[in-house]
A and B are shown apart, each in its own frame.
Chain A
Amino acid sequence: MLLKKLVLFVAAAAFAAFSGAAMAYPDKPVNYIIPFNPGGESDISARLQAPFFKKITGQDLIIQYQAGAGGAQAWSVLNDQPGDGYTIMGTNLPHIVLQPLLQNPGYATDDITNVHMFHFTPDALIVRADSEYETVQDVIDAAKEAPGQLTAGGSATNSANHIANQLFANRTGAELTYIPFTGTGAVIPALLGGEVDMVWSYTTVAAGQGDQVRMLAVAQEERHPLFPDVPTFKDLGIDIVGGAYRGIAVPESTPEDVRKELSDIIGQINADPEFIKQMEEAGFAMLDVPYEEMDDFMANRKKTYEDIARQLGAIQ
C-alpha cells in the first residue's frame, strides 16, 4: 500500500517536473551577455529590462559582460554557447553588419540568430546650447558656403555616426568633416568645449546633457516623446531614419520554440507602460521587431548599410 503510494507520488512528481520543463521557459536564471563594458547604453537598457523579466517569468536575468573589439569578441563566440535559451546575448546594429563587411571579426552577420529587436537610439545632430546654428538649414547653408570646414564629431570610423554623417551629405549636399572619437562618451566634452562644431550622436546623449546642448533633428519616423519640439529629419524633407539598434540573439543551436518564447517575453516587457516610460525618459526610442519579422528587417538594414559602406570606400 505504502509502496504503491510512493510509486504514484514519484511518477506524479516526475511528470510535473517534466511537463513543467517543457511548458515553462525559463525555469532558472538566464545569463544575459552584454558585449560591451558596463555603463554603456546596452548595459543600461539590460538593467532596465531585468526587473520586468523577473516580473513576467519569475526568473533572474543575470547580466554578464564580455567586451572587446567593439562587440566582436562576444559575437564571435555566440554559437559556441549552449543553445538551451539560458545564455542569450545583446546584439547591435549596424555593428553586426558593418564589422563582417569591413574586417574579419570572426563571425558573419548571418551567424547571429537575432530573436527580437527591442529599441533603438535614433541618430541626432547636436550642437552646443550657445551655438550659432539654430536649425538644420543653418548647418546646411554654412557647410555649402565652406565645404569641409565645419567639423562634426562622432564615435569611431565606419560607425553608426559615420554613416549618419555620410547619409546627411548624400541627402543634402552639405559636406562636414567627420572627426572620430573613442566612444560616444568622449565626444561630449569635445562638443561642450568647442573642439568640434557639432556632433553626430543619439537622443540618449541629448537626454543626459539637458540644456547644455541643443538637438537640431532626430532620425526617427516620428518625433521623440521626450523632445516634442525637435523635428525629425523627415519633417525637414531629409530622408534619414536610423541609429543604433539593439536586440537579443541566441546561439544557433537554440530550438525554435525557445526562440519564439524569448521573443514573446521581450515583447511583453516592451509593452509594459512603466518600462516604456523609463526607456523614453532615458532617451531611447521603442521598437518591436519580433522573431517572425526579423529576416525582413535584417535584409532591409543590411542593404542600407552595405550601400553606405561602399560609398565610404571601406569596401569595393
Chain B
Amino acid sequence: MSQGTDRQAVPAARSKDWAGAVGSAFFFATGLYVFITSFSMSPMAALFPRTIGAVMATFAILQIAASLTGRSGQAVEKGSSVAEQAEGLGRRLTLLAVMVAWALLFPVVGMFVTSLLASVVLMFTGLFGRLSPFRLALYLAVVFVMVVVFYLLMSNVLNIPMPRGLFF
C-alpha cells in the first residue's frame, strides 16, 4: 500500500500533512468525548468506551504531531489526496447532495418517485459529452425501467414494505 494507487504522485517526504492533522483532530475530539462520557455509565458498559476513547485520543495527538512535523507517512489503503479530489469537484458534490436528499426525502415523498428523480439527476451527473436525442430518450427509458424493475422486485417479490409517502 506504500505507493498508493496509480496517478498519485508520491508526496514530498517532509511536507506538512494539513488534511491529516484536521482529520486527526476530529478523532481526538471524538476519543475525548467517548472517554469523558463513559464516566456517566454503569461500570459494565463503561470499560470499553473508556479504554478505546483514551487510546483513540492519545494516538490522534501523536498523529497530529506527526502530521504537522511532516512525518505523517503515506495514506492508508486507497486513500487519495485533496488535490486529486479537486478534479470534478462539482460533480462529486452534486452526487453527494443527491444521495443526502434521496436518503432524507424518500420516506416522506415515497420510494418510487424519489428514486426516479434522483436516478435521472445522477444519470446527467455521470454524463460526459453530448447525447443524440434518440440516445437521451433511450437512456431515460433505461433508467425508468430499472427503477420500476427493482421497485417491483423489492415490494412484490421480496415482500419489503416500501415507504409510499406523499406519492408512492
Number of chain A interface residues as a range: under 10
Q: CB of A230 within 8 A of chain B?
A: no
A-B contacts, 9 of them at CB < 8 A, read: A31-B161, A33-B161, A62-B159, A63-B159, A64-B159, A64-B160, A64-B161, A66-B161, A87-B161
Please measure, in the bound complex, the distance between the C-alpha atom of A66 and the C-alpha atom of B163, giving whole angstroms. Answer: 12
Known: A33-B161, A62-B159, A64-B160. 6 other contacts (CB 8 A): A31-B161, A63-B159, A64-B159, A64-B161, A66-B161, A87-B161
Quick one: CB contact mask for B126-146 with A, threshold 8 Å, 1 for yes? Answer: 000000000000000000000
Quick one: CB contact mask for B152-167 with A, threshold 8 Å, 1 for yes? Answer: 0000000111000000
Please measure, in the bound complex, the distance between the C-alpha atom of A19 and the C-alpha atom of B53, giving whole angstroms. Answer: 65
What 3 pairs across the A-B complex have the smallest Cβ distances? A64-B159, A64-B161, A62-B159
- Residues of B at the A interface (CB closer than 8 Å) are 159-161
Tell me which residues across on chain A come within 8 A of B159, comparing CB atoms.
62-64
- The secondary-structure label for the interface of chain B is loop
Task: Please name the residue on chain A nearest to B164 by beta carbon.
Answer: A82
Tell me which residues across on chain B come within 8 A of A33, comparing CB atoms.
161
Interchain nearest-CB distance for A215 vs B (Å): 29
- The secondary-structure label for the interface of chain A is strand
Interchain nearest-CB distance for B166 vs A (Å): 13
Tell me which residues across on chain B come within 8 A of A87, comparing CB atoms.
161
Please measure, in the bound complex, the distance between the C-alpha atom of A63 and the C-alpha atom of B161, giving whole angstroms. Answer: 10
Please measure, in the bound complex, the distance between the C-alpha atom of A299 and the C-alpha atom of B112, giving whole angstroms. Answer: 42
Tell me which residues across on chain B come within 8 A of A64, comparing CB atoms.
159-161
Interface residues of A in 263-315 (CB under 8 A from B): none
Task: Please name the residue on chain A nearest to B158 by beta carbon.
Answer: A64
Please measure, in the bound complex, the distance between the C-alpha atom of A64 and the C-alpha atom of B159, giving whole angstroms. Answer: 6
Please measure, in the bound complex, the distance between the C-alpha atom of A63 and the C-alpha atom of B160, giving whole angstroms. Answer: 10
Interchain nearest-CB distance for A25 vs B (Å): 20
Interface residues of A in 187-205 (CB under 8 A from B): none
Please measure, in the bound complex, the distance between the C-alpha atom of A62 and the C-alpha atom of B155, giving whole angstroms. Answer: 12
Please measure, in the bound complex, the distance between the C-alpha atom of A66 and the C-alpha atom of B161, giving whole angstroms. Answer: 9
Please measure, in the bound complex, the distance between the C-alpha atom of A33 and the C-alpha atom of B159, giving whole angstroms. Answer: 10
Please measure, in the bound complex, the distance between the C-alpha atom of A62 and the C-alpha atom of B160, giving whole angstroms. Answer: 10
Please measure, in the bound complex, the distance between the C-alpha atom of A87 and the C-alpha atom of B161, giving whole angstroms. Answer: 10
Tell me which residues across on chain B come within 8 A of A62, comparing CB atoms.
159
Tell me which residues across on chain B come within 8 A of A66, comparing CB atoms.
161
Interface residues of A in 7-64 (CB under 8 A from B): 31, 33, 62-64
Tell me which residues across on chain A come within 8 A of B161, comparing CB atoms.
31, 33, 64, 66, 87
Interchain nearest-CB distance for B45 vs A (Å): 9
Interchain nearest-CB distance for B140 vs A (Å): 32
Task: Please name the residue on chain B nearest to A81 by beta carbon.
Answer: B161
Interchain nearest-CB distance for A93 vs B (Å): 24
Please measure, in the bound complex, the distance between the C-alpha atom of A217 and the C-alpha atom of B134, giving whole angstroms. Answer: 75
Please measure, in the bound complex, the distance between the C-alpha atom of A66 and the C-alpha atom of B162, giving whole angstroms. Answer: 11
Please measure, in the bound complex, the distance between the C-alpha atom of A63 and the C-alpha atom of B158, giving whole angstroms. Answer: 10
Please measure, in the bound complex, the distance between the C-alpha atom of A46 and the C-alpha atom of B2, giving whole angstroms. Answer: 54
Please measure, in the bound complex, the distance between the C-alpha atom of A31 and the C-alpha atom of B155, giving whole angstroms. Answer: 12
Tell me which residues across on chain A come within 8 A of B160, comparing CB atoms.
64
Please measure, in the bound complex, the distance between the C-alpha atom of A131 and the C-alpha atom of B159, giving whole angstroms. Answer: 45
Task: Please name the residue on chain B nearest to A31 by beta carbon.
Answer: B161
Please measure, in the bound complex, the distance between the C-alpha atom of A63 and the C-alpha atom of B159, giving whole angstroms. Answer: 8
Interchain nearest-CB distance for B152 vs A (Å): 15
Interchain nearest-CB distance for B167 vs A (Å): 15
Interface residues of A in 57-81 (CB under 8 A from B): 62-64, 66
Interchain nearest-CB distance for A14 vs B (Å): 27
Interchain nearest-CB distance for B162 vs A (Å): 11
Task: Please name the residue on chain B nearest to A62 by beta carbon.
Answer: B159
Please measure, in the bound complex, the distance between the C-alpha atom of A66 and the C-alpha atom of B160, giving whole angstroms. Answer: 9
Interchain nearest-CB distance for A50 vs B (Å): 12
Interchain nearest-CB distance for B164 vs A (Å): 9
